[in-house]
Amino acid sequence: MRKDEREQGRYDDILHLSHPISRRHPPMPLQDRAAQFMPFAALTGHEDAVRETARLTDSRVELDEGQREKLDQRLSLLLKSMYECPGLEPEITVIYFRPDEKKAGGAYVSVSGRVQKVDGYRRRILLKDGTALPMDEIVGMEGDVFESMAE
């Protein structure tokens, strides 16, 4: 007699019994039962941290004196045109640096819209759609209002 035949003989009395069902505890739902065998993430958030570290940001570029002067002239022209023509909402496109909230650096963003107000106290340009552009982060401004400037 082989070993497996001998072992089968030992369990003949219980081999064909039905599976016991508890009267106290309801059966576990299959979804919960399957979750017991899911892989365990020992380092919760590790993958998100790796993804965040791999995300690239741009460095802030410092403008030279000439570029800064050109921007100041454009801002002055914008203020002058809005002062001379109350209710004028010139259409401009602004490129500015938006710092990243989570790590060093940020991104250069281009935004277009109609100027509602230039807030000198808070140093920002408010667009009609509610966007606030920080003046100290602006690296470029374009628009019809600047056409009269000699390049």
On the question of pLDDT at 151 being above 50, the answer is: no
H or E element that contains 106: strand 106-119
The amino acid at residue 37 is F
Dihedral sign for Cα atoms in the order 142, 144, 148, 150: positive
pTM here is: 0.61
Average pLDDT over residues 90-109: 87
Q: Is 140 helix (H, G, I), strand (E, B) or coil?
A: strand
- Report the percentage of the chain scoring pLDDT > 90: 30
What distance in Å separates the CA atoms of residue 106 and residue 78, rounded to the nearest whole number?
A: 27
**Do residues 149 and 122 touch, judged by C-beta distance below 8 A?**
no
Q: Residue 112: name the closest of 64, 79, 80, 145 by CA.
A: 145
